[in-house]
Amino acid sequence: MAVLASISARYGSKGVPRKNLRLLAGKTLVQRAIEIAKATPSITDILISSDSDEILSLGNKYSCIVDKRPQILANDSTSLHMVTKYNLEVFQKSFDRPTCIVQLSPTCPFLLASTIETGIHKVLHESFSSSISLSRIEHSHPYRARLINSDGTFTNFVTSVDVESSQFHSRQDLPEMWCTSGGLYIRDYETLNSFDGESFGFGSKPFGLKVSDIESINIDNLTDWDFAEFIALKNGL
C-alpha cells in the first residue's frame, strides 16, 4: 500500500525570513521533515512542493519527488490542505493512487516517526478517515477566553457554561481540552480526494493523535524559533 508524505514549504515567510531553509541546530526545517518521513516505516513516497528552487534541490538531494508549486498556491493565505490535495493530483499523474496521505509541516520540527506511524496505522487498519495531531490546551484554555468590547470592558467567550464558577478557578480543575497542533494531518485517499476547501477535511471519523509539548512546537515567529532552538540544543534534537 502506497503511503505518500506531502511536505509543502514556501520560500517566503513574514514571521521568520527564509524559515524553511534556516538552520535549526544545524538542520533546515525541510531537512528535518524529510528525515522524519524517511524514518517512518510505512511511508513509501515523499513529495516536496515548493515555489523555491533551493528547497526543491534539497528534495532532490534526498531522492524525493519534487514539484514546483504554482504561484497561486504559494501565497500567505493559501490553505496547506488545498496544497496537499494538489500534491496528491501531481503524484497521481505518475504513480498509482496512495492509500493514505501524510501532510507534514516543516514548522513542527520535533514530530516523532513513531507518532506518524501510529497515525498511519489508525487510518490503514482501524478504519479512521484521518489522524490529526492534537496538543493539550493548558494556559490558554477556552474557559479563560475573553472578548474585549469597544468600551474596554470584556465578556466571557464561553457562555454555555458558568466559567466563573469556583469549580473552575484552579487550572487543574478545568476540563481537559485539545487543539490541532498543525504538524500532522493523515487522511485516507477518499477523504483527501473529496476535500473541497469548505472544512479542514478530517472526514467522518477522525482520530486524535495526542502529541507531547515538544512535538507540538510550531514555529510561526522569531520567539517560537528561539524557543525551538533552545529545545533542540537542550535535548540534542
SS (H, E, C) the chain: CCEEEEEECCCCCCCCCCHHHCEECCEEHHHHHHHHHHCCCCCCEEEEEECCHHHHHHHHHCCCEEEECCHHHCCCCCCHHHHHHHHHHHHHCCCCCCCEEEEECCCCCCCCHHHHHHHHHHHHHCCCCEEEEEEECCCCCHHHCEEECCCCCEEECCCCCCCCCHHHCCHHHCCCCEEEEEEEEEEEHHHHHCCCCCCCCCCCCEEEEECCCCCCCCCCCHHHHHHHHHHHHHHCC
Specify the pLDDT at position 76: 76
Check if the beta carbon of residue 116 is closer than 8 Å to that of residue 7: no
Specify the pLDDT at position 138: 86
Which residue(s) pair with 68 in the sheet? 50
Is CATH 3.90.550.10 the classification given to domain 3-137+177-232? yes
Place of cell 512546537: 217
Q: What is the pTM of this model?
A: 0.93
Check if the beta carbon of residue 83 is closer than 8 Å to that of residue 40: no
Query: Which residues make up the CATH 3.90.550.10 domain(s) of the chain?
Result: 3-137+177-232
In angstroms, what is the C-alpha Rg of the chain? Answer: 19
Biggest CA–CA distance in the chain, Å, is 60
pLDDT in tens, the chain (237 residues): 899 999 999 887 888 989 999 999 999 999 999 999 999 999 999 999 999 999 999 999 999 999 998 888 887 778 899 999 999 999 999 999 999 999 999 999 999 999 999 999 999 999 999 999 999 998 899 999 999 999 999 999 999 999 999 999 888 889 999 999 999 999 999 999 999 888 899 999 999 999 999 999 999 999 999 999 999 999 999
Count of CB atoms situated within 10 Å of the CB of 47: 23
Specify the pLDDT at position 15: 83
b/e sequence 12-41, b meaning 16+ C-beta within 10 Å? ebeebeebbbbebbebbbbbbbbebbeebe
Specify the pLDDT at position 112: 97
